[in-house]
Structure 1
Amino acid sequence: MQGKLQLALISSFAVLLRCCITYHSHSGEDKPPMYGDYEAQRHWQEITLNLPPDKWYINTTDNDLQYWGLDYPPLTAYHSLLLGYIANRINPSFVRLHESRGLETEEHKYFMRLTVLIADILIYIPAFIYFVSNLRSWSNCQFNESNIFKFSKRDAILLTALIYPGLILIDHGHFQYNCVSLGFFVAAVAAIMQDSFILGSILFVLALNYKQMELYHALPFFFYILGNYTPNKAKSWVHCIRMLICVSLAVLLTFFIIWIPFFKNKDVFFSAVLRLFPFSRGVFEDKVANVWCVINVVYKLRQIFTNAQLAKICLLVTTCAALPSCINLYLLPTKNAFLVSLINSALAFFLFSFQVHEKSILLVAVPVLLHFHNDPLPCFWFLITSHFSMLPLFIKDDLYFAYLGTMVFYFCSVFWMWPDIFYNHKTNNLLNKSKLKLKKGGRVQQHKKNKSVLNLPGYDKKFWLLLAFYGSVLGILLLSILSKFVKPPERYPDLLPLLVSIYSCGHFLIFFAYFNYVQLFSTRKKGFTNKVKSH
């Protein structure tokens, strides 16, 4: 009973924090003629409600694709259609064809903000509760009380995930529905961890059909399932083939059901698919913390290569970057390796793939949240950096003080919930052994051995780790202040956003190397084994 009460309190607090952000400005507020993502979401409700499905992705007089044309998969369109029906019942002016463009009334803002909040409450928050609640059954994580407030480790993991500021500011400030696709993704991971491969595959297909960027996570799902059902001494060919067929049929059937309205003819189908992968936009648009944007500072990629050439280069480099993690996962499909592989795959796509948006870092941040309990400090460090990497977008949307406030709040909250975040297991073991020896000795011996404790290797590592961490955070703080309050030179108007991108990209490359090292050389030592059940 107490556990359920704590879950309710944590969830309520997470909802309250989201409600506070909803009172800030949104993307494109009072900025005609295109406004921003808020208007894009409203416009999709207008289009899906007033036009038949075979016209949603096709340019017509009633559907100008240059004005926020629908460019997400059908599940997003169906969600927009549902919200369009509700909006029409509340006030038809919200979604009246052609006449509702740029609508920003107070009544409509409350409606739109509430739709995101409800999606979060119904999908994303329950998905994380599902993941954390089943953590004990497959991991070595102990849910013992960890501080004087009787705050268990399970509560700390859940609260750390639910108050991550990056997703909250993008969905409830900037305005998007990432909580839907990421909620399905988290639920899919939780199901896979419970060895429910068919359910996990279906949930992941839902995530992928809500936002195509879930392709960032597709490779680990594929290789983990394939690795688990590769025949060996313990698994027969018949059982493995039967399970792979069942998973494949579940995936294909889910895709088929979602795409039924677009199988009317091949033109409708290909028009929809082409809208999902707009290669004509180029390798990147705004300043984003990935490799191509940084390289472009000194080597103008778009002036040297065509879009087609850049797309091929991105595909090749991304494949090479993700391949070591995927091969390792196939050969050693442990559950811990699966979580880390999700991080590595998403980071490879973010750093090296074609047409990456700054908001896509959320696709890396959520797997990091899932892995947080295994490696708190690097995960926390990454989450802080990921939030910072979106600073130019937050300034553009007039969300700077919301960004700063949530950053400080998250920083303090994590240090409160994880007071031993700087101590690794090796250091703790050394300290415990030293304490046992000190208890056996006298006062003189204690004094002598205290000196040896201070010279433990773990302490040297901790010092350099502290120095690196706080140096990194100091750089984040400095750039955060400069980006808001210092005017760049007229000759370089994008100097500060570019510095934010370069600084963040440098961190992400280091994290990419670190998490690949963790997966390739450390996860096999964790002792997490699979117990695949028969379905």
Structure 2
Amino acid sequence: MEICVLVIISLLLRWSTSQGSYSGQGKPPMFGDYEAQRHWMEVTVNLPVKDWYRNTTENDLLYWGLDYPPLTAYHSQICGFIAQYVNPEWVRLNTSRGHESYQHKLFMRYSVFLADILVFLPACLLYYISQDEVEDKSMIYGLMCLLLYPGLILIDYGHFQYNGISLGLMIMAVASLGLKQQILGAIFFTLALNYKHMELYHALPFFMYLFGVNIHTNSMKGVFQIGKIGVAVILTFMLCWLPFLSDIDSFRNVLIRLFPFNRGLYEDKVANLWCSLSLVIKLKNIMSQQALVVLSFLSTLVGLVPSAFHLLYKPTLTNFKYSLVSCHVNSSLVFFLFSFQVHEKSILIPALSVCLLADKHPYIALWFLSISTFSMLPLLIKDGLLIQCCGLSVVFLILAYYSSQQQFSHYTSRLQNWMKFMFFSSIFGAVILTVCSEVVQPPPRLPDIFPVLISAYSCGHFLFFLFLFHYCQFFNNVPNYVEKHRKVSQHKKFSKEKKVK
């Protein structure tokens, strides 16, 4: 019953958010991500596959050129065919650019809604089913974080994207591993990677876990299992890329679009290290583009190594959920903070990984999810989604905090008070910055002062969470008091039963 209520609430929040504005609404000539998604439907329906990622007279890559992997292109083509059937003007080549109408907006919103119903919601429920060792109340809390997380709802149903598909496939992969279906998990993750290449954030943890689990069996069975997983991954990749494999130029064009090293180090005022560091030192003014690429690569690699190799060393089944998902968090946070060409929306990837840890660290998960939503505030204000952002955040905070009180009852009063003080102080700071960004006029010399402050404030939190989750992974007992509490409860229950007998 609780699950049904959660699903209904999540659908209502999604649809109510979709009634607002979207990225670039009424802002020619480029508009925004809404127009980008529509344009990809236009391109994939009207042009041959070889021209999807190639600059031609009919496909100007400077106007929202397709820059996601093949599965996104195929999805755009399917949506485009449906749009063409409903109203050909929506995707007519070149003349449909910047098309805006109520009917088309409804069609686009329905397409995201249907994608969530077909992929994201089933993925969340599958993950719930796969967690047999977790108490129902704890898992309900984790499911609530997945379904009601404001950041994902705001970006997919406000700003306008289809993040629920790639994230849903990733969650299915984790759930499959929890059900001991390693090959199926590898296939699901490969599909996620071929829908959005930002899932590379999770690639190393998946590889390390699957390799470590099988190599530690010390038998040929484990080696054969690694081989079967490798074959499944290669075949899935080949199937996804099949139309581009016959022509080396087509294949190369896709790679160039996926990894745009000719762009900047970061996008807008994203809450990662490079953007925050620009307050003190302008790296792009003292380093070449190539040097910046190398710097971000090395920084990301150094940040990934401890978490990844710890997972390789200790890939036990008992530590599966915590170690794997924690490594997800650490890996994706490192990518977000240190890698090249990061968007504000990329924080959704570590945020969804944190949702998978919510049953073990309810307070920390709530804190992280709140700050991750806040970190996208400049983008959401630009899209006219401030009211939706505040509304969803308040609803989520109230429901999650109320639901998690039973989870916190076993914390020591000192730790509980410390965590509450940190959490509420953090949220208070976010509220102050939100109000100031709307009611305080920035100085003429510093027009971007509030977006930059929001970026730096959020980045400081993410660095703290990066340290905290690494600590949790390496010392798998603090501050996770949930298991200890459960063991104490089970012991008391056993003692009472023994006395009765």
Output the TM-score relative to the length of structure 2: 0.93
**Which of 106, 110, 114 is residue 110 of structure 1 equivalent to?**
106
* Structure 2 counterparts to residues 384-399 of structure 1, below 5 A: 384-399=370-385
Task: Give the residue type in structure 1 aligned to 2:202.
Answer: H
After superposition, what is the alpha-carbon deviation per residue over 1:302-327, rounded to whole angstroms, capped at 9, x for unaligned?
A: 01111111111111111111110001
Q: What corresponds to 2:402 in structure 1?
A: 416
1:469, distance to aligned residue in structure 2 (A): 1.4
Q: Does 1:95 align with 2:91?
A: yes
Aligned equivalent of 1:294? 276
SS of the residue 1:132 aligns to: helix
Query: Could you tell me which of 455, 458, 467 is aligned with 1:504?
Result: 458
2:152 aligned with 1:167: yes
Give the CA deviation at 1:9: 3.0
Name the SS of the counterpart of 2:280 in structure 1: coil
Q: 1:472 to 1:272 in 2, by over 3 A?
A: same
1:61-115 deviation digits (Å, cap 9, x = unpaired) = 0000000000000000000000000000000001000110001111100000000
CA contact (8 A) 2:127 2:171 kept: yes
2:361 counterpart residue number:
375
Displacement, 1:266? 0.9
Q: How many Å separate the matches in 1 of 2:407 and 2:6?
A: 21
Deviation per CA, 1:462-483: give whole Å up to 9, x if none.
3222221111111011011111
- In the alignment, is residue 73 of structure 1 matched against residue 53 of structure 2? no
Mapped pair 1:131 → 2:127: yes
| Corresponding residue SS for 1:43 | helix
Matches within 5 A, 1:179-198: 179-198=164-183
Q: CA deviation at 1:421?
A: 4.7
Tell me the residue number matched to 2:10: 14
Q: Are the counterparts in 2 of residues 415 and 421 from structure 1 also a CA contact under 8 Å?
A: no
1:262 maps to 2:216: no
Residue 153 of structure 1 deviates from its aligned partner by 3.9
Q: Which moved more, 1:55-64 or 1:156-165?
A: 156-165
Q: Which runs of 5+ in 2 are unaligned?
A: 485-501
Deviation at 1:285, TM superposition (A): 2.3
- For residue 523 of structure 1, report the CA deviation from its aligned partner: 5.6
Inter-partner Cα distance in structure 2 for 1:491 and 1:18: 39
User: Would the aligned equivalents of 1:343 and 1:367 in 2 still touch at CA under 8 Å?
Assistant: yes
Q: 1:111-510 alignment to 2 at 5 Å?
A: 111-136=107-132, 139=133, 141-143=134-136, 152-231=137-216, 235-333=217-315, 334-335=319-320, 336-423=322-409, 425=410, 427=411, 458-510=412-464
Deviations 1:121-177 (A, max 9, x none): 1100110000012211xx3x212xxxxxxxx44433322220110000000000000
Distance in 1, matches of 2:418 and 2:42, equals 55
Q: What's the offset of the Cα at 1:461?
A: 2.6
Secondary structure (helix, strand or coil) at the match of 1:372 reads coil
SS at match of 1:209: helix
Q: C-alpha distance in 2, partners of 1:126/1:68?
A: 31
Higher mean C-alpha deviation, range 400-409 or range 71-80? 400-409
Q: Distance in 1 between matches of 2:121 and 2:15?
A: 14
Distance 1:302 1:195 in 2: 46
- SS state at 1:377 partner: helix
Residues 263 and 341 in structure 2, CA contact (< 8 A), matched pair in contact too: yes
Q: Return structure 1 stretches of 4+ with deviation > 4 angstroms.
A: 523-527
* SS of residue matched to 1:24: coil
Contact 2:296 2:339 in 1 (8 A): yes
The one-letter code of the counterpart of 1:402 is: Q
* Alpha carbons 1:226, 1:330 under 8 Å: kept: yes
User: Separation in 1 of the partners of 2:6 and 2:282?
Assistant: 48
Amino acid at match of 2:60: D
Q: In the alignment, is the contact (CA less than 8 A) between 1:87 and 1:95 conserved in 2?
A: yes
Pick from 452, 467, 483 the counterpart of residue 513 of structure 1: 467
> Does the 8 Å CA contact 2:141/2:358 hold for their aligned counterparts?
no
Residue 487 of structure 1: CA displacement? 1.6
Structure 1: distance between partners of 2:236 and 2:419: 47
Looking at structure 2, the residues matched to 244 and 418 of structure 1 have their Cα atoms a distance apart, in angstroms, of 40
Contact 1:156 1:417 in 2 (8 A): yes
Alignment partners' CA distance in 2, 1:491 and 1:413 = 41
3-state secondary structure, aligned to 1:281? coil
Instruction: Indicate if the aligned counterparts of 1:27 and 1:397 stay in contact, CA closer than 8 A.
Output: yes
Percent of aligned positions that are identical: 45
Q: What RMSD over aligned residues (CA atoms) do the two structures have, in Å?
A: 1.5
Determine which structure has more spread, i.e. the larger CA radius of gyration. 1
CA distance in 2, matches of 1:523, 1:263: 48
Check conservation: 2:270, 2:455, Cα contact below 8 A: yes
Q: Which amino acid aligns with 1:202?
A: I
Matched residue of 2:65: which SS?
Answer: coil
Q: How far did 1:249 drift?
A: 0.2
State the number of aligned residues.
478
Query: Separation in 1 of the partners of 2:202 and 2:252?
Result: 24
Unaligned 5+ segments in structure 1 are 144-151, 428-457, 528-535
